[in-house]
Amino acid sequence: MKSLTVLLLVAIVMTARSQDINITKGWKFKTGDQMQWASPNLNDSDWEPIEVGKPWELQGHTGYNGYAWYRLRVVIPSSIKAKAFLKEKIHIDLGEIDDGDEVYLNGSLIGRNAGQGSDIRQGNYSLQRSYQLPIADSRIFWDKENVIAVRVYDSGGDGGMFTGKYGISMMDVTDYVEINANDHNFQFPAKGKISKKITIRSSSDKYDFNGKLQILISDPANDSTIFKQTIGVDFARDRPFEYTYKASLPQTKSYLVTYRFEEDRSKKIVSATEGIPYLLTPPTPETPRINGPAVYGVRPGSPFLFRIPATGKKPLIYEAAGLPAGLVLDKQTGIITGSLSEKGQYTVKLVVKNSLASASRSFRILCGDQIGLTPALGWNSWNCWGLTVNDEKVKASARVMHEKLADHGWAYINIDDGWEDKRNSNGEMLPNSKFPDMKGLTDYVHSLGLKVGIYSSPGPQTCGGFAGSYQHEEQDAKTYGAWGFDYLKYDWCSYGNVAPAQPSLEEYKKPYLVMGAGLAKAGRDILFSFCQYGMGEVWKWGAEAGGNSWRTTGDINDSWGSLSGIGFTQNTASPYAGPGHFNDPDMLVVGKVGWGPSLHNTRLTPDEQYTHISLWALLASPLLIGCDMSQLDDFTLNLLTNDEVLAVDQDALGRGADKIYEKDHLQVWEKELSDGSHALGIFNLGEKAAQAVIPLSDLHLAAQAQLRDLWRQQDLGVVKTAYRGAIPAHGVVFLKAKAAGNRK
């Protein structure tokens, strides 16, 4: 959660390395904190066994926040030295630890992750811990038992050694070589053609490297090779190897490219694989089309702001027949503003015209108590900028959203943690110097027809260590209202230190009810987004406690493990979604992400990204883009602008999808839509491409069904008896089964 100062900590590279000693098994665990627990001589036989790679909350310590220790006894054999080509250092990989930690080897400190200071309570949870020690370091006991003791502090949400890589191994040639395919995006110079620049780097001052690089493109559906090239390579620290390859691809579908570098002296191999992006969303038609939600909630007296999302050749002219008194439309920008004084329901006919044609759609405005009738579509600063967010980055994101995404319904620009300074003498919260003019910022975002969000915590501090709203809730809500915010993400964080260790249901609800009462006095509609990682089964009471959405899980990251672990377990919470109150399985990890300040392309494959967006749309999740908007590449933009896919997320019924089928690695998730049809995501969770044959009855469809491929926006015609289709590894086929008559 903070930028880091870490002792002896080394970033891992994209390239996979194997571990000489497996340390995933045999760990012992105890809550509490005593420094003598670092000692190798401690008798820990009565400590409980624990798994690493899984939060302690899932292992009998639900809701536990605070200190705990992990211990492992492991023999480090000198045979691993003999096997290695280079005989210099070992490294110990201990995965990611939530939130901060200190690591002891045989009683001596070998590293600490404490965010910006020395207090592990401010640690950076999303960092792979990898500690290096020279082989002559006396803290290592060769050929004897060693004790690794990990002191952990968790401030809220998931805790412990929760995910990542574990192992002890010798640093070898391959640890100094990084194949970097991440700096440059794929280019699509013509239909069926790709080109891509890759780099191979050395991080060693001591060695130059020579070897051979093989580039191999394969079709994972049948393991055939599409393209193969081998080239000689040499590079050194100050002289990276760069190469651009070009290839032709026979179809618009999933292909894999593998880079395999064989080092001449050691014959060791470093390899990396990536999926080649392929664009499924067809180009947007030139004729007008109205997108976005068909229903919109506002409270009486609150400022109204809605920009009609519509695509088509510019200029577009907007009309709205039947707008209730109090609302006005700007026909050139499509922005509706004003306010409604009375509760009521109004059906408006939206019309959008251009030189080619005209489109119309019915739009329902519900003026009452409920807002956020469909999930928020927007952007949030956290997954790219982390705590380095500032006014200019927010404005730049708003500009890009306005230019490239708003016509598809994207509307919110949300500032996450990192805007706060301190309170003035009246107790009012002040923004830090990165946000010189909050009112000016919200006015700017509103002028584009977009909305804007802010972040706080019910605790004394936010997760990033800034002042939270504790005991200033109403005052803060009024400040947000006066500044012009439309959305509040309210993140539990240090409230864990205020609430009892095992909160009751009432204690879980309390901070949200207190802030909800404050927001009611803010003078404008502020969407209320709960963030407390799913504690106390928030989906069961989030709506009644005033939430427009609530996080159901810990933080997501851009890995398949994180994405699939979160996404495919949402069926428990899913039935609780409905108009105005949605489950939030966390923000999107597509595009250039990084948690600030340095960014990388998402590590998800293109197929995993199709899965991500499809599943989140089926779940009626808020879709909050988490990438650098100024670096939206063609693939990411294509992924985020499929109006038929977004329509599933924005459907007025607000249903969350249900898992209706699971066999081998295939799962089908189904969501009922307001027009009587159903959206079906057929997902392949397996590591290999699959040929799915699923009886229509298992898809809850009658013997004949009319199917449409939503990503390709293509009718598949009438399908009889069974659905048959190829589904890439970790990929999806996203369908709409039309016509109510087809239902069983």
Tell which one of 104, 306, 382, 539 touches ligand GAL (CB under 6 A). Answer: 382
Pick left, alpha or beta for residue 520 (phi over 0 → left; psi -120 to 50 → alpha; otherwise beta). Answer: alpha
The pattern of x and - marking residues 430 through 469 that bind ligand GAL according to CB under 6 A reads: --------------------------------xxx-----
Q: Which is nearer to ligand GAL, 304 or 508 (CB)?
A: 508
Which 509-538 positions form the footprint of ligand GAL (CB under 6 A)? 531
Please state whether beta strands 549-551 and 527-531 pair in parallel, antiparallel, or not at all (unpaired). parallel
Nearer to ligand GAL by C-beta: 172 or 416? Answer: 416
Q: Which is nearer to ligand GAL, 626 or 728 (CB)?
A: 626
To ligand GAL, the closest distance from the beta carbon of 462 in angstroms equals 6
- The conformation of residue 403, written as its DSSP 8-state character, comes to I
Under a CB-based contact definition with an 8 Å cutoff, are residues 364 and 294 in contact?
A: yes
**Window 158-177: contact mask with ligand GAL (x via CB under 6 A):** --------------------
Task: Identify the three-state secondary structure at position 636.
Answer: helix
- Are 220 and 240 in contact by the 8 Å Cβ rule? The answer is no
Residue from 486, 555, 628, 670 in contact with ligand GAL (CB under 6 A): 555
- Total of chain residues touching ligand GAL, rule CB under 6 A: 11
Annotation marks residue 555 as catalytic? yes
Of residues 490 and 661, the one with the C-beta less far from ligand GAL: 490
- Could you please report the per-residue DSSP string of 254-320? -EEEEEEEEETTT--EEEEEEEEP---SPPPPSS-EE-S-SEEEE-TTSPEEEEPPEESSSP-EEEE
Please tell me which residue in 20, 555, 586, 649 is annotated as part of the active site. 555
633 has catalytic annotation = no
Check 486, 491, 628, 643 and give the catalytic one: 491
Is 589 or 737 the residue whose CB approaches ligand GAL more closely? 589
Query: Considering only residues 403-432, where is the footprint of ligand GAL by CB under 6 A?
Result: 416-417
Backbone angles phi, psi at 342, to 5 degrees: -115, 150
User: Does 1 sit near ligand GAL (CB under 6 A)?
Assistant: yes
State the nearest-atom distance from the C-beta of 596 to ligand GAL, in Å.
11
Contact between 173 and 88 (Cβ < 8 Å): no
Give the residue from 169, 240, 173 showing the smallest Cα distance to 207.
173
Question: Per-residue x/- mask for ligand GAL, residues 633 to 672, rule CB under 6 A?
Answer: ----------------------------------------
Q: Which is nearer to ligand GAL, 454 or 705 (CB)?
A: 454
Sheet holding 304-307, edge to edge: 304-307, 335-338, 327-330
Nearer to ligand GAL, 550 or 723 (CB): 550
| Residue whose CB is less far from ligand GAL, 296 or 382 | 382
Instruction: Specify the residue, 588 or 639, whose C-beta has the smaller distance to ligand GAL.
Output: 588
Euclidean distance between the first and the last CA atom of the chain, given in angstroms as a whole number: 49
Shortest Å, Cβ 418 to ligand GAL: 7
For residue 378, the minimal CB distance to ligand GAL (Å) is: 14
Residue 481's closest CA among 470, 493, 473?
A: 473
Q: In angstroms, give the least distance from the CB of 457 to ligand GAL.
A: 8
Q: Does residue 291 interact with ligand GAL by CB under 6 A?
A: no
| 491 is a site residue for ligand GAL (CB under 6 A) | yes
| 8 A C-beta contact, residue 509 and residue 541 | yes
Q: Which residue is nearest to ligand GAL (CB)?
A: 463
Dist. CA 294–CA 640, nearest whole Å? 19
Sheet holding 344-353, edge to edge: 295-298, 358-367, 344-353, 317-321
CA 527/CA 107 separation, integer angstroms: 50
Report the site for ligand GAL in 192-221 (rule: CB under 6 A): none
In 308-428, beta strands by DSSP E: 310-311, 317-321, 327-330, 335-338, 344-353, 358-367, 377-380, 412-414, 420-423
* Closest approach of ligand GAL to the CB of residue 252, in Å: 34
Expressed in percent and rounded to 5, the helix, strand and coil fractions of the chain are: 20, 40, 45
Three-class secondary structure of residue 495 per DSSP: helix
Task: Answer yes or no whether residue 584 interacts with ligand GAL by CB under 6 A.
Answer: no
* C-alpha to C-alpha distance for 257 and 220, rounded to whole angstroms: 10
CB of 629 to ligand GAL, least distance (A): 18
The edge-to-edge listing of strands for the beta sheet with 732-738 is 658-663, 666-672, 678-684, 732-738, 704-709, 714-720
What backbone phi and psi angles, to 5 degrees, belong to 262?
Answer: -110, 120
Q: Show the binding pattern over residues 339-378: x = contacts ligand GAL (CB under 6 A), - = does not.
A: ----------------------------------------
CA–CA dist 692, 726 (Å, integer): 6
* Least distance in angstroms from the C-beta of 544 to ligand GAL: 22
| Both tokens assigned to 437 | 């003019």
Minimum Å gap between C-beta 116 and ligand GAL is 13
The encoded tokens of residue 662 equal: 């699971």
Which residue, 431 or 681, has its beta carbon nearer to ligand GAL? 431
Q: Is 558 near ligand GAL (CB under 6 A)?
A: no
Site string for ligand GAL, 492-511 (x = CB under 6 A): -x------------------
Judged by beta carbon, residue 124 or residue 636, the one nearer ligand GAL is 124
CB of 123 to ligand GAL, least distance (A): 12
Return the H-helix or E-strand segment holding 220.
none
- Paired with 549 in beta bridges are 529, 582
Residue 708 near residue 714 (C-beta atoms within 8 A): yes
Contacts of 227-233 spanning 24+ positions with Cβ under 8 A: 233/200, 233/209, 233/261
Nearer to ligand GAL, 166 or 466 (CB): 466
Distance CA 546, CA 85 (A): 61
Query: Which of residues 178 and 416 has its CB atom nearest to ligand GAL in the complex?
Result: 416
User: Which residues lie across from 227 on neighbouring strands?
Assistant: 217
Cβ atoms of residues 649 and 623 within 8 Å: yes
Q: Report the nearest approach of ligand GAL to the CB of residue 553 (Å).
A: 9
Closest contact distance (angstroms) between CB of 533 and ligand GAL is 7
User: From the CB of 521, what's the least distance to ligand GAL, in Å?
Assistant: 25
Q: CA 233 → CA 240, 264, 397, distances in Å?
A: 10, 10, 40
- Contact residues toward ligand GAL (CB under 6 A) are 1, 382, 416-417, 462-464, 491, 493, 531, 555
User: Which residues are designated catalytic?
Assistant: 491, 555
